[in-house]
Amino acid sequence: MSVEKAGYLSGPLLTEIESKKLLKEAGIEVVHTVMAGSKKEALRISKEIGFPVALKIASRDISHKSDIGGVRLGIETANQAAKAYEDILKAVQQRCPHAAIEGVSVQKMAPPGVEVIIGTTKDAQFGPVIMFGLGGIFVEIIKDVSFRIVPIEKRDAREMIREIKGFPLLRGFRGKEPIDITSLEELLLKVSKFAETHPEIKEIDLNPVFAYPQGAVAVDARVILESPQ
């Protein structure tokens, strides 16, 4: 699926599933995610994927799903999945009554890892800028991030990772196994290349990315396109 096909017909904010399809085509590892249009479908997909799963609201009108109760994690059984589906729709309808809801996405819960964030945004003067830092809520609280102008080279990716104050968490802290830094460098390069070759992209947000001793995977993803003129 090309960026053009994913975008302007439906609006600049792509769904998580659309975003992940685009990123996967760019060679970026993402957690497999499937759209469910009903509670029955969500239960079927959950059983096919295998518990534990995560359920998230799918709406182009909602960019921060967790803030309005649109996410449920660590679902272990079919009964929990059914309740999670109902709770998500109820919460969204209460807090965002005018949001157009396409369904609920279902994804396998990824093994826990060190959470990092990788993203791009467009600067009015410099164009696309890429960011790296600690992920999850830490990026909002600590704001421990590094930036470079796109495109970046391998040396830039290496420096970005080592610049953040939280780098000891990646290198191995208090006996924990060190993270696969090479995979993170490669991921930064792929995101940079993707942003460079698609000027119609306004913003990319991979948060969180779970980094492991071997490899890394984007658990959540958001792509925003430039509004059509």
Q: The pTM is what?
A: 0.89
CA-CA-CA-CA dihedral for 32, 207, 130, 11, to nearest 10: 70
Q: Which residue, among 63, 44, 59, has the nearest Cα to 106 in the 3D structure?
A: 44
Do 69 and 159 reside in the same domain of the chain? no
Give mean pLDDT, residues 24-34: 95
Do 73 and 181 reside in the same domain of the chain? no
Phi, psi of 181 (to 5 degrees): -65, -35
Do 102 and 135 reside in the same domain of the chain? no
Q: Final residue of a domain: which of 108, 133, 158? A: 108
Do 138 and 38 reside in the same domain of the chain? no
pLDDT digits (tens, 9 = 90+) for 67-95: 899 999 999 999 999 999 999 999 999 99
Residue 29 has pLDDT above 60, yes or no: yes
In a domain, 20, yes or no: no
pLDDT digits (tens, 9 = 90+) for 149-186: 999 999 999 999 999 998 998 998 777 899 999 999 99
pLDDT digits (tens, 9 = 90+) for 102-130: 999 999 999 999 999 999 999 989 999 99
CB contact at 8 A, 52 and 75: yes
Cβ-count burial of 182 within 10 angstroms (0-12 exposed, 13-18 middle, 19+ buried)?
A: middle
Do 84 and 149 reside in the same domain of the chain? no
CB contact at 8 A, 121 and 129: yes
CATH code for the domain of 89: 3.30.1490.20
Do 166 and 219 reside in the same domain of the chain? yes
Convert 122-174 into a string of H (helix), E (strand) and C (coil). EECCCEEEEEEEECCCHHHHCCCEEEEECCCCHHHHHHHHHHCCCHHHHHCCC
In a domain, 21, yes or no: no
Half-sphere exposure of 105 (CA within 13 A, CB side): 24
In a domain, 182, yes or no: yes
Do 64 and 145 reside in the same domain of the chain? no
Do 103 and 156 reside in the same domain of the chain? no
Alpha-carbon gap, residue 50 to 78, rounded angstroms: 10
Give mean pLDDT, residues 30-50: 96
Give mean pLDDT, residues 22-36: 95
Alpha-carbon gap, residue 130 to 138, rounded angstroms: 18
Q: Final residue of a domain: which of 108, 136, 151? A: 108
Do 158 and 61 reside in the same domain of the chain? no
Domain containing residue 81: 32-108
Alpha-carbon gap, residue 23 to 206, rounded angstroms: 10
Do 41 and 135 reside in the same domain of the chain? no
Query: What's the gap between Cα 99 and its chain centre?
Result: 21
Domains in the chain, number: 2
Report the amino acid identity of residue 125: Q
pLDDT computed for residue 9 by the predictor: 47
